[in-house]
Amino acid sequence: MNDADVIHILRSMSMTGLRVAGPILGVVLAVGVLVSLIQTVTQVQEQAVVYVVKFAAVGVLLMLAGPWMLHELQTFLRELWVRVPAVG
């Protein structure tokens, strides 16, 4: 295994991580901004509301996109296992 192989694996790992974690982070960010905006307009400053809504949004996202996320991780791990014999 040479430097190019290591760089390819690290790049693939980073891209897979971004593809899997990106939607979750995007939903949390969007829900947080939306709930904060609603709390500002209604002048209700309860922090528990933000966490409950974020938790529910991530749960719905994982139910909808969970199979796709697992497929992405499986694809990456299969590619990684194919490269294991070349390590030695």
Coil vs helix vs strand at 26: helix
Which of 87, 84, 72 has its CA nearest to residue 13?
A: 72
Residue with tokens 């829900």: 31
User: pTM above 0.95?
Assistant: no
What is the pLDDT, as a whole number, of residue 88? Answer: 65
Q: What is the mean pLDDT of residues 42-58?
A: 91
75 to each of 21, 41, 66, 72, how far by Cα in Å?
16, 45, 14, 5
pLDDT at residue 53 is higher than 70: yes
Higher pLDDT, 85 or 32: 32
Domain edges within the chain: 3-86
